[in-house]
Amino acid sequence: LIEHKVSKLEDFVDRLAVMHEGQMICCGECQATLNDPEVRRCYWKLEC
């Protein structure tokens, strides 16, 4: 399943995998993945 609106996925999945520029940068439980510094930097352009 590919979805760019993460908020829609949290109710349906236990784990997330995040890719950036063709590479998987994180995979794990939803909240842990969403809080990962690399995911935050790449996906939301947030400084960690």
Instruction: Write down the pTM of the prediction.
Output: 0.74
Question: How much is the pLDDT for 48?
Answer: 57
In the numeric block, which tokens belong to residue 11?
Answer: 């109710």
Cβ neighbours of residue 11 under 8 Å, at least 6 residues apart?
A: none
Exposed / middle / buried, residue 6 (Cβ in 10 Å: 0-12, 13-18, 19+) = middle
How sure is the predictor about 15, in pLDDT bands with cuts at 50, 70 and 90?
very high
Q: Average pLDDT in the 2-31 region?
A: 88
Average pLDDT, the chain: 87
Cβ neighbours of residue 37 under 8 Å, at least 6 residues apart?
A: 48
